[in-house]
């Protein structure tokens, strides 16, 4: 029996129908896929108007933020449906291990049926659930571009975090977890996104068939019990040993421990002339004064393509290795592509010869490479530039690849970006629309203003969900006090959902009137106008706006005694993380340092000082990169 509980009006309006309809489909999909039946007789899904977590996979009673289950039948934008499908899938998977909705289902198997032995293997719950949620979401929404969504939402974000000095590994020792980490801090992108990325890679080189077979064996043996990652490796090894289709260069444990027990990830460097591939740990910027060890090596599965044809999987099991198959001829049409569709958790650094050949290929046929691989080329190029590898200009100065995909800040350029990667329009409309408005294209601003005005005239009018946040922001931004006051009125409307309120809290920070921002921040201090937990949210929203970061910082310094009493000094760390993006001069950094020295005890300044040093470093890197990009744009982009 499957039931959904929600506010009466949301049920009568049909907002939970979609979630209810796909829940049974996802259950059946997971039971068939894993060959394990759900062990309870019922599942209730509860939509809560105010719920801190996105969702929680309680066995038989899954709880969700209201917005995570709501879909209006009149909303034609498919991204909303995709989000719900992914969330439900994740939570159902936890009921073995299974984006939130699908993730909730997954925990029925990964997490509830089998639970990790200790917190150091939390990724066995959350990482596997985050991987399977995309399979389940694709089952109920088969038109979803799974590989593109997974790369953009899972792999790319964690690569940006997993390249810093001292980042933890996916699976730490129990002693280290007990001594160095709070358990709540383990619920981070390393656990979720890196865990999912490693699972994606594992499924890729094993084949999905063998991976699922091993998981079924693992789940059946440890049902209603606990397991660690070595138990999972054992069951995968058993499946590998029982067949001869897939051959591995080492034991499953040796291969996978190199990914889960070491921090970071590798970058592969390909020399096209010799066919040599070498590996080293990828770090954003090597610090010569650091005592950190850079000796990590991985056993790396290399998917690759030559001149458009997929080639057999290769393995790099040492720091450097020659692959005669990858030596190329003098023909400019002879090229190599590694890590096709980002099947492995690593970056690739090509030599100039291969870059020029790939550039020539894409100039003649922008779709000659898979969409994710095209995106990956650009992403890797920027990441390598930031770490001090050969500059972007040296790599792409003569190509139209970056020019078309990133730097044509015009309506035409946005269309090229949109079509170039092949993303379905509805799935990526939200980001595209937000980007166009951020760039200041008048058509986008006019549309936002028009839709916002339509809502002001008719309070029953529903702005399409996917663009609602952007429309509200720019409706307020291009408007006056009248538009701001309307947002405030709607925020206080009794029928507003938690998600609606968050959209409006953000929108009110978009005003371009300084005095309205001052007033808004003052509202945040009032016990009668807003709940106390809104104050810090408002400060951070205002701080991210071009005219707001200085206003918000002055507000914080003037009201620090009250803010400190209400939120504690942790608020300073959150503020610095956001404010760091807007601190551009040594004087501003010194001003921050003076404030911290005056407000924090000596033993409390350590973490803040590290954050401040990181801010200085980030700003220096940002200035260097902006200069390079500006010079490149002047040479290569038309007026």
| Binding region for Zn(2+) | 90, 94, 126
> Which residue is listed with tokens 């979609």?
18
Nearest of 471, 484, 467, 375 to residue 423 by alpha carbon: 375
Residue 310 in tokens: 């997929």
For 400, phi then psi, to 5°, come to: -100, 0
Q: Is 91 a catalytic residue?
A: yes
Give the integer Cα–Cα distance in Å for 368 and 363.
Answer: 9
Give the integer Cα–Cα distance in Å for 277 and 342.
Answer: 17
Eight-class DSSP state of 110? B
Which helix (H) or strand (E) element contains residue 108?
strand 101-108
Give the integer Cα–Cα distance in Å for 157 and 268.
Answer: 19
For 321, counting Cβ atoms within 10 Å of its Cβ (0-12 exposed, 13-18 middle, 19+ buried), the class is middle
- β-pairing, 347-350 with 266-271? parallel
Q: What is the DSSP string of 23-51?
A: HHHHHHHHHHHHT----SS-EEEEEESS-
Give the integer Cα–Cα distance in Å for 50 and 502.
Answer: 11
Helix (H, G, I), strand (E, B) or coil at 204: helix
Number of CB atoms found within 10 A of residue 228's CB: 16
Give the integer Cα–Cα distance in Å for 85 and 133.
Answer: 8
Q: What is the DSSP string of 124-147?
A: HHHHHHHHHHHHHHHHHSTTS-HH
State the catalytic residue, choosing from 57, 66, 91, 430: 91
Are the C-beta atoms of residues 64 and 171 closer than 8 Å to each other?
Answer: no
Residue 498 in tokens: 């938690």
The residues facing 4 across adjacent strands are: 45
Residue 37 in tokens: 């039946």
Helix (H, G, I), strand (E, B) or coil at 286: coil
Q: Which residues are catalytic?
A: 91
């Amino acid at each position: 029996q499957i039931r959904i509980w929600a506010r009466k009006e949301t049920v009568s309006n049909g907002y939970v129908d979609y979630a209810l309809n796909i829940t049974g489909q996802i259950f059946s999909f997971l039971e068939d896929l894993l060959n394990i039946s759900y062990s309870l007789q019922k599942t209730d899904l509860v939509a809560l108007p105010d719920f801190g977590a996105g969702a929680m996979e309680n066995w038989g009673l899954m709880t969700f933020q209201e917005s995570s289950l709501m879909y209006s039948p009149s909303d034609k934008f498919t991204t909303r449906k995709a989000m719900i499908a992914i969330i439900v899938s994740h939570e159902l998977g936890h009921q073995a291990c299974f984006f939130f909705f699908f993730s909730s289902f997954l925990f029925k198997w990964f997490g509830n049926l089998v639970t990790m032995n200790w917190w150091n293997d939390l990724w066995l719950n959350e990482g596997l659930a985050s991987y399977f949620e995309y399979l389940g979401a694709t089952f109920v929404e088969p038109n979803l571009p799974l590989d593109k969504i997974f790369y953009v939402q899972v792999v790319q974000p964690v690569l940006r975090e997993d390249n810093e000095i001292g980042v933890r590994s996916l699976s730490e020792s129990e002693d280290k977890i007990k001594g160095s980490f709070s358990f709540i801090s383990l619920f981070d992108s390393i656990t979720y996104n890196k865990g999912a990325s490693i699972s994606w890679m594992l499924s890729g080189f094993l084949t999905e068939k063998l991976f699922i077979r091993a998981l079924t064996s693992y789940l059946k043996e440890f049902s209603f019990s606990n397991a660690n990652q070595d138990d999972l490796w054992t069951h995968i090894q058993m499946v590998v040993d029982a067949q001869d289709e897939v051959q591995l260069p080492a034991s499953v444990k040796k291969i996978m421990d190199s990914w889960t027990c070491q921090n970071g990830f590798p970058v592969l460097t390909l020399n096209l002339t010799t066919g040599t591939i070498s590996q080293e740990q990828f770090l954003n910027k090597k610090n010569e004064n650091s005592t950190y060890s850079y000796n990590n090596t991985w056993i790396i599965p290399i998917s690759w393509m030559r001149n458009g044809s997929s080639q057999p999987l290769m393995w790099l099991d040492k720091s450097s290795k020659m692959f005669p198959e990858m030596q190329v001829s003098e023909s400019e049409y002879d090229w190599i592509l590694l890590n096709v569709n980002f099947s492995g958790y690593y970056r690739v650094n090509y030599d100039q010869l291969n870059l020029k050949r790939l550039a020539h290929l894409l100039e003649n046929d922008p779709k000659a490479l898979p969409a994710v691989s095209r995106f990956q080329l650009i992403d890797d190029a920027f990441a390598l530039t930031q770490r001090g590898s050969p500059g972007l200009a040296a790599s792409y100065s003569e190509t139209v690849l970056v020019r078309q995909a990133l730097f044509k800040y015009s309506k035409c350029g946005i269309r090229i970006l949109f079509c170039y990667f092949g993303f379905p329009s509805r799935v990526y409309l939200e980001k595209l629309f937000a980007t166009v408005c951020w760039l200041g294209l008048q058509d986008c601003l006019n549309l936002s203003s028009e839709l916002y005005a339509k809502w002001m005239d008719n309070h029953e009018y529903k702005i399409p969900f996917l663009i609602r946040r952007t429309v509200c922001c720019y409706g307020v931004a291009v408007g006056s006090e009248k538009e701001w006051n309307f947002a405030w009125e709607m925020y206080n409307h009794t029928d507003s959902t938690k998600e609606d309120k968050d959209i409006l809290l953000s929108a009110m920070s978009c005003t371009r009137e300084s005095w309205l921002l001052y007033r808004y921040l003052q509202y945040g201090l009032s016990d009668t106008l807003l709940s106390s937990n809104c104050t810090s949210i408002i400060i951070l929203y205002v701080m991210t706006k071009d005219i707001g970061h200085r206003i918000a910082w002055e507000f914080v310094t003037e009201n620090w005694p009250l803010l400190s009493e209400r939120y504690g000094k942790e608020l300073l760390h959150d503020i610095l993380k956001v404010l760091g993006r807007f601190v551009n001069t040594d004087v501003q950094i010194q001003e921050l340092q003076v404030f911290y020295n005056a407000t924090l005890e000596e033993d409390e300044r350590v973490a803040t000082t590290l954050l401040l040093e990181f801010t200085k470093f980030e700003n220096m890197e940002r200035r260097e990169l902006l200069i390079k990009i500006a010079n490149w744009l002047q040479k290569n982009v038309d007026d």
